[in-house]
């Protein structure tokens, strides 16, 4: 039996529910593949703030660093929205990313045949979309210094941040992106704003240089405003996209919404070595929890009364657990087992509110977990 | 007879063609309303680079400043893409915006009933979309200092930019946005990244303060990544959006593509006083010219052979001329006359390649101009 230590970070909002489902799925998938997990649950985000006064307690970071991989639920909520910066749940997530040095954030967005109707894009545009956003995660304007508040010469208050990239930061994320493209369809699109920003000019120069190491990959460059359009006009033109931290934040969320099933999308954040961080995309957008509720309330009203804590779609977290197995532990078979189980559950017609459509079987978070377990 | 001096800046690519159409339309619309225009054509962008060695010659800026309004075609092209920063066509556009101090960029995106099929979004999602992005245009990371290239402590090259906003910059754009919302449906959504960036925290604070002056306007705040999603999920939830320079660049292009008819979308850039700058949205994205060609070649192949310089859709520039009349000169009647003529031309079934659909009459840029003239 192989043994792995997994740090579970349920976090806020729907986090605990979806993590609990993913944990069960990991246990069962592992048991089939001769893998045993030891889980350690630690607080992060708003939950940690309420408990300890800081959004990332030292113990949490230490536990995460010592484990083989980290699975995170969701972070943030209205309750802490007007906190000062160092007391925001989001700051805990950023500290965790920085602390684990997970500079490469892989965000797949593909339209599953079972869910093509969930997209607000026309069927012929959405069908077959299968792209991967590789987002730089520990640099750029999220972490650049100087930053803060000050007064200008006229005595007015200013708020400022620094977008900055060094060659090594660009080089290493570019290599991850080229490698990723190589395992996919061999096309990489680098997104920047090199017609305006010096940080983007250096980005484009380095990506072009690293491309020489990957003659088999077809590289293109696109300005970020154009990329935001092209994702809607024709998302199928993309295979792998590589971009900086803030553009990646925006474009990966846009790409995920194109699939129409953001409640389904996982992500992996990886460093050179050390444990990876795995989390659903939805967990990061503070508004989503609420919206999923509105969705399912509206859609489910005629079907059943859903309680307030059972409306989340756990599949993004379950698929994040699959990414954890693949990218974090190298357990490809167990990863595939989970992914097949999810597809099978969808094929059997089960849907949470956010991906519900007429004729399907509407269930809550826990029941979705039970159904996946049957297929694992 | 009223007389106005208009500076025409045709610029690059399809710029000269579309400006020539808009000029004719202005002349005819003006003649119906007792308005006479004096036009002065000046070089900007790549055209200016080729002619004078700089992307914004002093004479061009001076002429623009002295006129009553400025109409711009398009800027940029692959030819100058690897120029150094101060020799990029885009730099000329940025210098023009700064020189005219046009800090408020109004970018409407609405889905015309005639063109709802052009959108890649499902009909029920696209139908009735009518939103306005108010983008801050002369501040933020586009202009913030320090910026440039340097080496860090490890001796590695870095590229850096500064995102910075002062209270007065936020206050004045917020007021324009609240006023805009007041003339529309009374809803304003301010988009930022206040969970991470100090510049955004100040933005949110000031917008919230200015809101006290507009108790009749319903204000909401949204993170930029969520906004990128919501624009796709349900664009009809938006009335007026206000955001910073870089987020506005990305989101307004995304919003424009949601309409499916980016070749139709105008923009106005206004300052406290002095002439406004009016330009089609498409003109600013260097790739669009090429894409419109691909579009029309594909779609038109079975109909007719379109030559290389006649594929552009001039309607965005024609509608920018209408915005020029409304916001730049206060000539509401002439503005409405042009807008009705455009709608009428569409209703009569004429389409350029980018907005063509089966059963419609495919025509080129010049002919589209002729058809609009018939309706003015
Ligand atoms: C919560 C927030 C700090 C985070 C980010 O901006 O990176 C989120 O939006 C994400 O994309 O993971
Ligand atoms: C061409 C470029 C400098 C410009 C911008 O980024 O502002 C364009 O994309 C726009 O939106 O007008």
Assess whether B250 and B151 both reside in one domain.
yes
Q: Angle at the Cα of A265 (from A259 to A270), degrees rounded to 5?
A: 130
pLDDT band for position B81 (cuts 50, 70, 90) = confident
Give tens-digit pLDDT for B310-361: 788 999 999 999 999 999 999 999 999 999 999 999 999 999 988 999 999 9
Find the helix packing angle between B167-183 and B198-210, rounded to 10°.
50
Nearest atom (ligand 2) to Cα of A225: 9
Query: How many pairs of residues across A and B have Cβ atoms under 8 Å apart?
Result: 207
Instruction: Answer yes or no: is B369 within a domain.
Output: yes
Smallest CA–CA distance, residue B333 to chain A, in Å, is 33
Asked if A259 has any chain B CB less than 8 Å from its own CB, the reply is no
**Is the CB of A318 within 6 Å of ligand 1?**
no
Same domain, A139 and A88: no
Sheet bearing B266-270, strands edge to edge: B35-41, B2-11, B69-74, B276-280, B266-270, B104-110, B130-136, B240-243, B187-192, B218-223
Give the residue from chain A lying closest to B193, CA to CA: A246
For residue A166, the domain's CATH number is 3.40.718.10
Identify the nearest ligand to the CA of A76 by its number.
1
Residue A243 has pLDDT above 90, yes or no: yes
A76 in contact with ligand 1, CB cutoff 6 A: yes
A84 touches B at CB < 8 Å: no
**Is the pLDDT reported for residue A291 higher than 90?**
no
Which one of B197, B230, B285 has the shortest CB-CB distance to A225? B285
Residue B248 resides in a domain = yes
The verdict on B152 and B244 lying in the same domain is: yes
pLDDT for residue B16 is more than 70? yes
Measured between CB atoms, does A105 come within 8 Å of chain B? no
Which domain-ending residue is among A259, A294, A312? A259
Answer yes or no: is B97 within a domain: yes
Q: Which atom of ligand 2 approaches the CA of B285 most closely?
A: 9
Same domain for B146 and B168, yes or no, is yes
| Residue B282 burial (10 A CB sphere; 0-12, 13-18, 19+) | buried
Q: What is the pLDDT of residue B283?
A: 60
Quote the pTM value.
0.94
Asked if A225 is an active-site residue, the reply is: yes
Considering only A209-223, A238-252, A339-353, B77-91, which range has the smallest mean pLDDT?
A: B77-91
Q: What pLDDT band is residue B309 in, cutting at 50, 70 and 90?
A: low
* CB pair distance less than 8 Å for A284 and B253: no
Picking from A259, A293, A321, the residue at the C-terminal end of a domain is A259
- Give the number of other Cβ atoms within 10 Å of residue A85's Cβ: 16
**Residue at a domain's end among A259, A283, A304:** A259
* Alpha-carbon gap, residue A161 to A159, rounded angstroms: 7
Same domain, yes or no, for B349 and B249? Answer: no
**Are A190 and A287 members of one domain?**
no
Alpha-carbon separation of residue B150 from A165, A167, B147 (angstroms): 10, 11, 9
Question: Is B376 inside any structural domain?
Answer: yes
Average pLDDT over residues A346-373: 95
Same domain assignment for residues B186 and B284? no
In terms of domains, do B304 and B184 share one? Answer: no
Answer whether B333's CB lies under 8 Å from B363's CB. Answer: no
The answer to whether residue A258 neighbours chain B at the CB level (below 8 Å) is yes
Q: Do B128 and B254 have their domain in common?
A: yes
| B222, part of any domain | yes
> B115 in a domain, yes or no?
no
Determine, yes or no, domain membership for B267.
no
Task: Note whether A77 and A158 are same-domain residues.
Answer: no
Question: Which residue owns the Cα nearest ligand 2 atom 11?
Answer: B249
Ligand 2, atom 4, residue with closest C-alpha: B284
**CB proximity list for A153: less than 8 A, separation 6 or greater:** none
A81: pLDDT confidence band, cut at 50, 70 and 90? Answer: confident
Q: Which range (A1-5, A203-207, B309-313, B364-368) has the least confidence?
A: B309-313
CA distance A4 to A24: 15
Separation of alpha carbons A258 and A253, rounded Å: 9
Q: Is residue B113 part of a domain?
A: no
- Give B-chain residues touching A286 at CB under 8 angstroms: 195, 223, 226
Summarize pLDDT for B268-290 with one digit per residue, the tens. 999 999 999 999 998 633 444 44
Instruction: Return phi, psi of residue A359, to 5°.
Output: 95, -15
Q: Are residues A341 and A291 in the same domain?
A: yes
A231/A145 same-domain check: yes
B71 Cα to chain A: minimum distance (Å):
22
- The residue segments making up the domain with residue B20 are 1-108+272-376
pLDDT for A292 beyond 70:
no
* Cα A73 to ligand 1 centre (Å): 13
- Domain count along chain B: 2
B250 touches chain A (CB under 8 A): yes
Put simply, the answer to whether B159 touches A165 (Cβ < 8 Å) is yes
């Amino acid at each position: 039996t192989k043994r792995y230590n997994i740090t579970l970070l349920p976090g806020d909002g729907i986090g605990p529910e979806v993590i609990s489902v993913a944990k069960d799925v990991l246990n069962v998938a592992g048991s089939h593949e001769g893998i045993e997990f030891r889980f350690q649950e630690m607080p992060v985000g708003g939950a940690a703030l309420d408990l300890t006064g800081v959004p990332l307690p030292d113990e949490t970071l230490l536990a995460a660093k010592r484990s083989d991989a980290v699975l995170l639920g969701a972070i943030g909520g209205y309750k802490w929205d007007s906190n000062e910066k160092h007391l925001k749940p989001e700051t805990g997530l950023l500290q965790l990313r920085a602390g684990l040095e997970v500079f490469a954030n892989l965000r797949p967005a593909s339209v599953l045949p079972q869910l093509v109707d969930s997209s607000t894009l026309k069927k012929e545009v959405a069908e077959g979309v299968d792209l991967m956003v590789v987002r730089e995660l520990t640099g750029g304007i999220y972490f650049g210094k100087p930053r803060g508040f000050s007064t200008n010469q006229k005595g007015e208050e200013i708020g400022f941040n620094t977008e900055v990239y060094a060659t090594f930061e660009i080089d290493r994320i570019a290599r991850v992106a080229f490698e990723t493209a190589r395992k996919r369809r061999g096309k990489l699109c680098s997104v920047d704003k090199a017609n305006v920003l010096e940080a983007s000019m250096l980005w484009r120069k380095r990506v072009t240089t690293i491309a020489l190491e990957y003659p088999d990959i077809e590289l293109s460059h696109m300005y970020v405003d154009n990329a935001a359009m092209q994702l809607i006009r024709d998302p199928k033109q993309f295979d792998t996209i590589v971009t900086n931290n803030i553009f990646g934040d925006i474009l990966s969320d846009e790409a995920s919404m194109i699939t129409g099933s953001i409640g389904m999308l996982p992500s992996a954040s990886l460093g050179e070595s050390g444990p990876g961080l795995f989390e659903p995309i939805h967990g990061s957008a503070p508004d989503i929890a609420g919206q999923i509720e509105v969705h399912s309330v509206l859609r489910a009203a005629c079907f059943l009364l859903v309680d307030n804590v059972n409306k989340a779609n756990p599949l993004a977290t379950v698929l994040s657990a699959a990414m954890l197995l693949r990218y974090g532990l190298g357990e490809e078979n167990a990863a595939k087992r989970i992914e097949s189980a999810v597809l099978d559950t969808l094929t059997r017609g089960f849907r949470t509110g956010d991906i519900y459509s007429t004729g399907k079987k509407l269930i809550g978070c826990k029941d979705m977990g039970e159904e996946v377990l049957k297929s694992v």
